[in-house]
Amino acid sequence: MERTLICETPKKVGKKIKINGFVHVVRAHGKIAFADITDRSGILQVVGEEDLADLRPQYAVEIEGVVQARPEKMINDKIKTGTVELTAEKVIVLAKSDEMPFDMGGETLNLELPTLLDFRTLTLRHQKIKEIFKVQAAVLAGFRNASEDIGCTEVTVPTISASATEGGAEVFSVDYYGHKAFMTQSPQLYKQMMVPSLERVYTIAKAYRAEPSVTTRHLSEATQMDCELGFVEFDELLDALEFVGGKTLKYVEEKCGKIFKDYGVSELKIPAKIPRLTMREAQVIIKDRTGVDHTKEKDLDPEDEKEICKWALEEKESDLVTVTHYPTKKRAFYTKPDPEDPEFSLSYDLLFRGLEILSGSQRVNDHEELVSAIKDRGMDPANFTMYLQTFKYGMPPEGGFSFGLERITMKLLNLGNVREASLFPRDMERVDFRFSQKEDLSSK
């Protein structure tokens, strides 16, 4: 008999079917037993006798039975299959499970972060956790669709690099056939190198950052979604990033409406015209609203980002706000200074509900200017030979932007820690297990 997906059962009342899935919970009432079975499409109540009562959570099972309509008063509005149940005729255990180390039967999984990660292969099975990664898949698809819409071609760029480029000491080094190589901190330099080839590109790439600190916002291995566009000026870049940012988020909302509901996420407010401010303008607004004077500061701090997002929501009915013109010295060497005031740069961040989710800039596209910018930061142009080659042979005005996949996922669902938005998060203390814990596990 062919397998029926659980979501199809309401259409099969009276029919004999076979389902596959995992046992979520089992409730035995005397001779009768109920089991909730989940598969990738949903959850279904199965009614049976002894063999059903013997099932335990996380058993992988195959069940044959007949789909029955539930009496009116037994209908469960909360689930898609709430109008039916399956009367089990044959229950086959495909794989047993050890006893759960904690209760997985509740609507939410209230575990401390270390437990959530120590039992990652288990906790990822909880409905509410699975939803996080359904949202993440939608973010990826939404980003790709939007990037294709603006004419970008997908590319795959390398992550092993011969020098610790982009500056900063926070790189992981690799033993590369006896040579010292490095994991790239972002696809930045390679996506730029693609501009004179495919002109507009996007890439979904790993970014490795050896941040020597543990925060709720940073991962040592994260996923970036990047676009880079040739023959564009600053205003077109702003249009492009707002289009891609807005369209990505709207796609997720459209695909994951029910999940947003489960997580209590309010409807997205993305107006046709997303508010744009320079950093200095934002600081003046913040001062006017809060009395806190950050108008001489060189960056927006997290509190500033929250405040300017509150302003955007209250005054412009927007969950997004674009902030431009950060100080040139605060941004990477490839950021183009504003010709009208070179202390500030043609850079931008896109803020979403209090958090920066995207960052980028118009780039320096002149070879000599770029060499100077590299030297000005105390770096050696010899470490950028292949990158600089691009600029020797005609690089048009260009720019781009970059989203953090886990960060957007975290922010969309109001998660407390970016680790919750990574299937198997890597940080200073943990690769699957905490390093301190690994010794104990090995001896088991």
Contact at 8 Å (CB) between 365 and 391? yes
Phi, psi of 287 (to 5 degrees): -60, -45
Nearer to a second copy, 244 or 321 (CB): 244
The residue from 194, 279, 346, 351 that contacts a second copy (CB under 8 A) is 194
The residue from 68, 153, 290, 417 that contacts a second copy (CB under 8 A) is 153
Rounded to the nearest whole angstrom, what is the least distance from the CB of residue 237 to a second copy in the complex? 14
Nearer to a second copy, 68 or 115 (CB): 115
Nearer to a second copy, 60 or 313 (CB): 60
Rounded to the nearest whole angstrom, what is the least distance from the CB of residue 173 to a second copy in the complex? 5
The residue from 48, 397, 400, 404 that contacts a second copy (CB under 8 A) is 397
Residues 102-121 that bind a second copy (CB under 8 A): 119-121
Contact at 8 Å (CB) between 37 and 23? yes
Rounded to the nearest whole angstrom, what is the least distance from the CB of residue 76 to a second copy in the complex? 22
- For residue 380, give the nearest of 167, 158, 161, 176 by alpha carbon: 167
Contact at 8 Å (CB) between 126 and 104? yes
Contact at 8 Å (CB) between 226 and 188? yes
Residues 80-99 that bind a second copy (CB under 8 A): 94-98
Contact at 8 Å (CB) between 286 and 308? yes
- For residue 302, give the nearest of 356, 348, 260, 266 by alpha carbon: 356
Binding mask 398-427 for a second copy (x = CB under 8 A): -------x----------------xxx-x-
Rounded to the nearest whole angstrom, what is the least distance from the CB of residue 418 to a second copy in the complex? 13
Residues 50-69 that bind a second copy (CB under 8 A): 58-60, 62
Rg (CA), the chain: 26
Pairing state between β 341-345 and 337-338:
antiparallel
Q: Which region among 25-33, 122-130, 315-323, 347-355 touches a second copy (by CB under 8 A)?
A: 122-130
Residues 195-234 that bind a second copy (CB under 8 A): 196-200, 204, 206, 208, 210, 212, 220-221, 223, 230-231
Name the DSSP letter for residue 303.
Answer: H
* Burial class, 298, CB count within 10 angstroms (exposed 0-12 / middle 13-18 / buried 19+): exposed
Q: Is 160 helix (H, G, I), strand (E, B) or coil?
A: strand
Q: Which region among 8-16, 68-76, 159-167, 292-300 touches a second copy (by CB under 8 A)?
A: 159-167
| Strand extents, DSSP E, 105-159 | 153-154
Nearer to a second copy, 58 or 278 (CB): 58
Dmax (CA) of the chain: 83
Rounded to the nearest whole angstrom, what is the least distance from the CB of residue 184 to a second copy in the complex? 11
Nearer to a second copy, 181 or 415 (CB): 181
Q: Is 170 in the site for a second copy (CB under 8 A)?
A: no
The residue from 22, 251, 326, 352 that contacts a second copy (CB under 8 A) is 22
Rounded to the nearest whole angstrom, what is the least distance from the CB of residue 280 to a second copy in the complex? 29
Q: Is 154 helix (H, G, I), strand (E, B) or coil?
A: strand
Q: Is 258 in the site for a second copy (CB under 8 A)?
A: no
* Euclidean distance between CA atoms 219 and 417, whole angstroms: 10
Residues 321-380 that bind a second copy (CB under 8 A): 365-366
Which residues have CB under 8 Å from 160's CB, separation 6+?
174, 176, 181, 182, 183, 184
Residue 36: how many other CB atoms lie within 10 Å: 18
Contact at 8 Å (CB) between 84 and 47? no
Q: Which region among 171-179, 247-255, 331-339, 342-350 touches a second copy (by CB under 8 A)?
A: 171-179
Which residues have CB under 8 Å from 341's CB, separation 6+?
none
Rounded to the nearest whole angstrom, what is the least distance from the CB of residue 367 to a second copy in the complex? 8
- What are 193's two structure tokens? 């190198």
Q: Is 179 in the site for a second copy (CB under 8 A)?
A: yes
Rounded to the nearest whole angstrom, what is the least distance from the CB of residue 11 to a second copy in the complex? 17
Which residues have CB under 8 Å from 333's CB, separation 6+?
167, 364, 370, 373, 374, 376, 377, 379
The residue from 106, 113, 176, 343 that contacts a second copy (CB under 8 A) is 176
The residue from 66, 79, 379, 431 that contacts a second copy (CB under 8 A) is 431
Nearer to a second copy, 137 or 292 (CB): 137
- Tell me how many residues contact a second copy (CB under 8 A): 99
Name the residue with tokens 């988020």. 249
The residue from 124, 284, 313, 371 that contacts a second copy (CB under 8 A) is 124
The residue from 9, 45, 161, 322 that contacts a second copy (CB under 8 A) is 161
Rounded to the nearest whole angstrom, what is the least distance from the CB of residue 133 to a second copy in the complex? 6
- What are 219's two structure tokens? 């991962």
